[in-house]
């Protein structure tokens, strides 16, 4: 057996012993994880800086602080989540009671991406541990400093038969997926998500897929343009655009597109100065391969602002592309970088139709003030989640689910939904053996049918 196979086998054996089922044990493990994150904050931020040149503020707010908040929420609600819940029983089953028992799946695998390499690994892990599972986690090899840090921290803090880290490249992930797992949670591209689901199908393993897609931002004619530009620019260029729910393109009403472009340009300068490469608040592209892909999407004739780049430093300026056509290369795939194409529309139904011609996006953002038009977009466009007059921030709350639909994913997590994702809800009906009503037993007759229809109709 390989090391990965040995790890999964050890976790399956440990899970069968039942220790992880105890809510007190789960609480202690979540508290241990909380202390680990809080104590190692500086080291985590340094690793993020090394991998992505992520500013300290972005590193804390989007990777460390959000995790501490999730852990606090999970710990405070864990007891109620774990408690069996009695529900009503149909009269036809009298005398009986029905109880739903939250039950962990067993040994889980969590495969994380590189763009938020700490948060997008730890956030689903909170749900897996809260639900009473063991976990094997696979950080992204494209963020080596963060991956190495996570492996070292977990090796010190947790026994591998409970929580283990697998490092390495795609072959390590493939080997992990070939093991007898009980649940798989994957965050990454739609292309790789299909491979993960194919591997899971071989063993009928349930999966959650958090993928991506081209998330639109619709700017209507009555939007408050100054705040719209500020929130769009922030949501797009945080982490140098390497965010799965970043606005992928702007679809602006023809009446407001020119002032919006100017305001976006002004906002970039307000955030990062006239030379964004010198700004301490602007991240870098993860590696040369992604850098080259992004440069290939830039049509110099479409550049309204930005376009400057330095391959050696993995720097690509915040870039806005204007007069973009729907069939331009930049509109063919998720950008995942600091390029913001701007297109126009005249009628709202036209915008909704254009969005719906494409695979369902992970997020959608609408900027405007008219309630009826807001409803038309929300009800008329399938998407994972989103905001009205805001961008990205719907991911922050532990009080609501986050997830995709269609090509942008399946399943959801955060808060209670993380616990639910890694939990099988087992229904148990307990019936008295002292009384046995013979209505449902053969031989059947008209009287039995009549009474059954009364109970069930």
- CATH code of residue 365: 3.40.309.10
pTM: 0.95
Q: What is the mean pLDDT of residues 294-318?
A: 97
Flag whether 180 is in a domain. yes
Flag whether 134 is in a domain. yes
Flag whether 444 is in a domain. no
Flag whether 404 is in a domain. no
Give pLDDT tens digits for 347-372. Answer: 999 999 999 999 999 999 999 999 99
- Give yes or no: residues 269 and 176 share one domain: no
Q: How distant, in Å, are the alpha carbons of 58, 64, 84 from that of 350?
A: 36, 41, 49
- Give yes or no: residues 344 and 419 share one domain: no
pLDDT tier, 23 (very low <50, low <70, confident <90, very high otherwise): very high
pLDDT at 1 over 70: no
Q: What is the mean pLDDT of residues 261-282?
A: 98
- Give the CATH number, domain containing residue 171: 3.40.605.10
- Strands 183-187 and 207-210 turn out to be parallel
Q: What is the pLDDT of residue 215?
A: 98
Flag whether 340 is in a domain. yes
- Give yes or no: residues 68 and 53 share one domain: yes
- The residue ranking higher by pLDDT, 437 or 102, is 102
- The parent domain of residue 245 ranges over 216-395
- Give yes or no: residues 229 and 299 share one domain: yes
DSSP-derived 3-state class of residue 319: strand
Residue 7: beta bridge partners?
A: none
Flag whether 346 is in a domain. yes
For residues 318 and 340, what is the distance between their CA atoms, to the nearest angstrom? Answer: 8
Cβ neighbours of residue 455 closer than 8 Å, sequence gap 6 or more: 90, 91, 92
Q: What is the mean pLDDT of residues 169-177?
A: 95
What total number of domains does the chain contain?
A: 2
pLDDT at 308 over 80: yes
Q: What is the pLDDT of residue 55?
A: 97
- Give yes or no: residues 174 and 224 share one domain: no
pLDDT at 456 over 90: no
Which of 137-141, 213-217, 310-314, 436-440 is least confident? 436-440
DSSP-derived 3-state class of residue 76: helix
* Among 378, 331, 335, 336, CA closest to 357: 331
Q: How distant, in Å, are the alpha carbons of 331, 353, 368, 404, 405 from that of 382?
A: 19, 11, 19, 10, 8
DSSP-derived 3-state class of residue 197: helix
| Residues forming the active site | 210, 244
Q: What is the mean pLDDT of residues 274-300?
A: 97
For residues 290 and 51, what is the distance between their CA atoms, to the nearest angstrom? Answer: 13
Q: What is the mean pLDDT of residues 199-224?
A: 97
Q: What is the mean pLDDT of residues 51-63?
A: 97
Q: How distant, in Å, are the alpha carbons of 23, 31, 218, 431 from that of 28?
A: 9, 5, 45, 36
- Give yes or no: residues 333 and 236 share one domain: yes
pLDDT tier, 91 (very low <50, low <70, confident <90, very high otherwise): confident
| Helix/strand/coil percent split, the chain, to 5 | 50, 20, 35
- Give yes or no: residues 236 and 169 share one domain: no
Q: What is the pLDDT of residue 3?
A: 94
Q: What is the mean pLDDT of residues 190-211?
A: 96
- Give yes or no: residues 206 and 222 share one domain: no
Residue 131: beta bridge partners?
A: none
- Give yes or no: residues 191 and 307 share one domain: no
Residue 98: beta bridge partners?
A: 87, 429
- Give yes or no: residues 247 and 354 share one domain: yes
- Give yes or no: residues 163 and 226 share one domain: no
pLDDT tier, 164 (very low <50, low <70, confident <90, very high otherwise): very high
Flag whether 438 is in a domain. no
Flag whether 405 is in a domain. no
- Give yes or no: residues 151 and 271 share one domain: no
Give pLDDT tens digits for 418-454. Answer: 999 999 999 999 999 999 888 889 999 999 889 888 8
Q: What is the pLDDT of residue 203?
A: 95
């Amino acid at each position: 057996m390989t090391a990965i196979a040995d790890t999964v086998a050890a976790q399956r054996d440990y899970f069968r012993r039942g220790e992880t089922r105890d809510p007190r044990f789960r609480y202690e493990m979540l508290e241990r994880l909380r202390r680990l994150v809080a104590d190692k904050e500086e080291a985590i931020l340094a690793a993020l800086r090394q991998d992505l040149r992520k500013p300290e503020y972005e590193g804390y707010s989007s990777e460390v602080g959000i995790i501490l908040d999730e852990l606090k929420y999970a710990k405070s609600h864990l007891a109620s989540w774990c408690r069996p819940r009695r529900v009503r029983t149909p009269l036809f089953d009298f005398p009986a009671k029905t109880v739903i028992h939250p039950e962990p799946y067993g040994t889980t695998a969590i495969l994380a991406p590189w763009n938020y390499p700490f948060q997008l690994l730890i956030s689903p892990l909170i749900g897996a541990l809260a639900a009473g599972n063991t976990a094997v986690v696979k950080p992204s090899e494209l963020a080596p400093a963060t991956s190495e840090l996570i492996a070292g921290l977990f090796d010190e803090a947790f026994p591998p038969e409970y929580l283990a880290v697998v490092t390495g490249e795609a072959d390590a992930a493939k080997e992990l997926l070939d093991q007898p797992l009980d649940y798989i949670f994957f965050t990454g591209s739609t292309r790789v998500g299909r491979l993960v689901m194919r591997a899971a199908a071989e063993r009928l393993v349930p999966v959650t897929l958090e993928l991506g897609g081209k998330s639109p931002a619709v700017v209507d004619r009555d939007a408050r343009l100054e705040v719209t530009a500020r929130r769009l620019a922030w949501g797009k260029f945080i982490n140098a655009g390497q965010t799965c729910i970043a606005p992928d393109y702007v679809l602006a009403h023809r009446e407001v597109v020119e002032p919006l472009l100017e305001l976006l340009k002004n906002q970039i300068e307000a955030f990062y100065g006239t030379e964004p490469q010198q700004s301490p608040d602007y991240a870098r592209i993860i590696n040369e391969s992604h850098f080259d892909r992004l440069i290939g999407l830039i049509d110099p004739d479409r550049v309204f602002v930005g376009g400057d780049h330095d391959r050696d430093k993995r720097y690509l300026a915040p870039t806005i592309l204007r007069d973009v056509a729907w069939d331009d290369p930049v509109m063919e795939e998720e950008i995942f970088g600091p390029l913001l194409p701007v297109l126009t529309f005249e009628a709202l139904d036209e915008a909704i139709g254009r969005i719906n011609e494409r695979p369902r996006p992970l997020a959608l953002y609408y900027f405007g003030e008219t309630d009826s038009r807001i409803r038309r977009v929300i009800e008329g466009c399938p998407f994972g989640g989103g905001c009205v007059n805001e961008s990205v921030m719907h991911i922050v709350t532990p009080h609501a689910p986050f997830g995709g639909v269609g090509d942008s994913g399946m399943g959801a997590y955060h808060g209670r939904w993380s616990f639910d994702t890694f939990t099988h809800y087992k229904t148990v009906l307990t019936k008295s053996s002292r009384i046995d009503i013979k209505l449902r037993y053969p031989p059947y007759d008209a009287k039995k049918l009549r009474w059954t229809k009364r109970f069930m109709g």
